[in-house]
Amino acid sequence: MGRRLLLVGGGHAHMMTLADIHGFVKKGHDVTVIGPSDYHYYSGMGPGMLGGFYTPADIRFATRHVVEKQRGRFILGRAARVDPEKKIVHMESGREIPYDVVSFNAGSEVPKPDMEGDTENIYTVKPIERLQEARDRIKGLLSKKPLRIGIVGGGPSSVEIAGNLWRLSRNTGKNSAGITVFAGSTLMAGFSEGIRRRARKSLSRRDIRILEGHRVKRITGGGVVLDTGETHGLDFIFLALGVKPNAIFKVSGLPTGPDGGLPVNQYLQSAKYPDMFGGGDCIYFQDQPLNKVGVYAVRQNPVLLHNLMAQLDGRALKPFDPGGDYLLIFNLGDGTGIFEKKWLTFSGRLAFLIKDYIDRRFMRKFQAIE
């Protein structure tokens, strides 16, 4: 007799499982997918969509269509909490979804500090689909007046968003945007000096202001206040304050890792609840804490596919190997990028072309399933 598989989220780590729903159905299992949107947007191409390199259709995967064409069930909405004892996921709508085996690829979210006043023009850099909304709003505002735009945060998202906002402003019309990155202590802290130097040079060359050494203490609808008391008036603000795992596990009262993610073992399986699995940004890999980068979610794909089927069928699980060094490429918004792999670091047009090729190939692979 078939069993019930529930996938919470249709992100990178679930792509191969989504592509093989028919394999689960063929064995008699029921497959249900919960997603906040009919589409999943690829975060690696999000800043490029903001800058106009890509359209929304270029960077999204038709999750609902792929699920339903393979005779799975798609539920539009957000999972609010999970009860692993009763094996039920509770939706924000109040609906209860039972399962025999569940896998979470619920992603991460940008922390939101306390904000004052009108927050209409304050956007977090995730979810990615909101960047299109931000793009349209900025274009509309630039048609009327110059803008002051601030990006709060000093990591890779801040650099990519700033660079692509420059491109958006440049291509929009007669008015331009003054862009400031409030980078906190250091721009691209935690990365190599080669990356930091190239990022600063690229942004500064385009008159994108970088403020380092001071933190944003307060955010309002009209600007930011630094820890020095200095005030900066802004018309539009992006929050790029890093990411934290989806709060569903904490809300559910489950044990979590230091970052708030679901602790999983070498099989991407909860040590406490054997029928619960996960991948991507929402997990805490106990054997080796992983950076929140998409490459690990992609590497988890075949392991999750095998282990979910194996758990349903009562077969042996396979361990996940995070692998070695991974490639870093950042889209700087002007047709160039920064490339780093092991000892090799360079910037320029070639770096962007390599990223563009890899990203488009990744999307074509999974969009072909549609």
- Full strand arrangement of the beta sheet holding 79-83: 79-83, 88-91, 96-98
Q: For 211-215, what is the mean pLDDT?
A: 95
Cβ atoms within 10 Å of 327's Cβ, excluding its own: 14
Tokens of 115: 């904000």
pLDDT digits (tens, 9 = 90+) for 255-280: 999 999 999 999 999 989 999 999 99
Type of residue at 307: N
pLDDT digits (tens, 9 = 90+) for 90-125: 999 999 999 999 999 998 888 888 788 788 899 999
CB 160 within 8 A of CB 331: yes
- Dihedral of CA 344/345/349/355: which sign? positive
pLDDT digits (tens, 9 = 90+) for 14-40: 999 999 999 999 999 999 999 999 999
Q: For 194-200, what is the mean pLDDT?
A: 97
Q: Answer yes or no: is pLDDT of 243 > 90.
A: no
* DSSP, res 269: B
DSSP secondary structure letters along 26-66: HTT-EEEEEESSSSEE-GGGHHHHHHTSS-GGGGEE-HHHH
Q: For 65-83, what is the mean pLDDT?
A: 97
Q: Answer yes or no: is pLDDT of 173 > 80.
A: no
- The alpha carbon of 115 is separated from its chain's Cα centroid by a whole number of angstroms, namely 23
Cβ atoms within 10 Å of 230's Cβ, excluding its own: 11
Q: Kind and range of the H or E element at 328?
A: strand 328-331
User: What is the pTM for the complete model shown?
Assistant: 0.93
Tokens of 231: 């005030």
- Full strand arrangement of the beta sheet holding 122-124: 122-124, 236-239, 147-152, 177-182, 209-211
Q: Residue 42 has what pLDDT? A: 92
Query: Which has the higher per-residue pLDDT, 163 or 365?
Result: 163
Q: Residue 140 has what pLDDT? A: 92
C-alpha closest to that of 283 among 6, 11, 4, 2: 11
Phi, psi for 113 (deg, rounded to 5): -75, 170
Cβ-count burial of 185 within 10 angstroms (0-12 exposed, 13-18 middle, 19+ buried)? exposed
pLDDT digits (tens, 9 = 90+) for 116-152: 878 889 999 988 888 999 999 999 999 999 999 999 9
Q: Answer yes or no: is pLDDT of 229 > 80.
A: yes
- Domains in the chain (CATH in brackets) are 4-36+77-109+243-326 (3.50.50.60), 115-242+328-360 (3.50.50.100)
pLDDT band at 159 (very low <50, low <70, confident <90, very high): very high
Averaged confidence pLDDT in the chain: 94
Q: Residue 174 has what pLDDT? A: 81
- For the chain, give the number of residues: 370
- Residue ranges in 189-293 assigned as alpha helix (H): 193-205, 248-251
pLDDT digits (tens, 9 = 90+) for 313-357: 999 999 999 998 899 999 999 999 999 999 999 999 999 999 999
Interior/surface letters 205-217, b for 16+ CB within 10 angstroms, e for the rest: ebebebbeeeebe
Distance separating alpha carbons of residues 74 and 46, to the nearest angstrom? 24
- The alpha carbon of 180 is separated from its chain's Cα centroid by a whole number of angstroms, namely 23
Q: Answer yes or no: is pLDDT of 291 > 70.
A: yes
Check residue 123 and give left, alpha or beta (phi > 0: left; psi -120 to 50: alpha): beta
Distance separating alpha carbons of residues 71 and 47, to the nearest angstrom? 34
Q: Answer yes or no: is pLDDT of 46 > 90.
A: yes
Q: Answer yes or no: is pLDDT of 75 > 70.
A: yes
Q: Residue 1 has what pLDDT? A: 65
Collapsed DSSP state (helix, strand, coil) of residue 268: coil
